[in-house]
């Protein structure tokens, strides 16, 4: 992670451990993705408790999440940064670039 934004020179880490919160965002994205894929899988296969389609969905979902992990981690950092730096133009105008 770069120390400052190349465009506005905003510091990207406010304090030590600032990005620990991205774990919660990444977890929420993963759970949301799993819920969406489960609903799609259920609608596509006609899920019932008698057949074993769930045992196909679980490894496929886990594999897709593992493959998407770099993208999910980067997206969670973007969401986390956006929560704290929401385009404050006054900040950028009053602070000089270093």
- In angstroms and rounded to an integer, the radius of gyration of the C-alpha atoms of the chain is 20
CB of 57 within 8 A of CB of 41? yes
Query: Is 61 inside a domain boundary?
Result: yes
Overall number of domains in the chain: 1
Does any domain span residue 42?
yes
Percentage of residues in the chain with pLDDT exceeding 90? Answer: 37
**Digit-coded pLDDT (tens) for 26-68:** 999 999 999 999 999 888 887 776 777 788 889 999 999 999 9
Say if residue 10's pLDDT is above 90.
Answer: no
End-to-end CA gap in the chain? 17
Residue 93 lies in a domain: no
Q: What is the pTM of this model?
A: 0.73
For residue 11, the SS3 value is strand
Domain extent at residue 66 = 20-84
């Amino acid at each position: 992670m770069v120390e400052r934004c190349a465009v506005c020179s905003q510091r990207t880490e406010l304090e030590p451990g600032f990005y620990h919160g991205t774990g919660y965002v990444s977890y929420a994205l993963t759970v949301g993705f799993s819920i969406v894929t489960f609903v799609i899988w259920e609608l596509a296969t006609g899920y019932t408790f008698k057949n074993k389609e769930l045992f196909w969905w679980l490894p496929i979902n886990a594999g897709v999440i593992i493959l998407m992990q770099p993208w999910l981690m980067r997206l969670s950092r973007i969401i986390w940064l956006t929560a704290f730096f929401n385009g404050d133009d006054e900040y950028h105008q009053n602070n000089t670039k270093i």
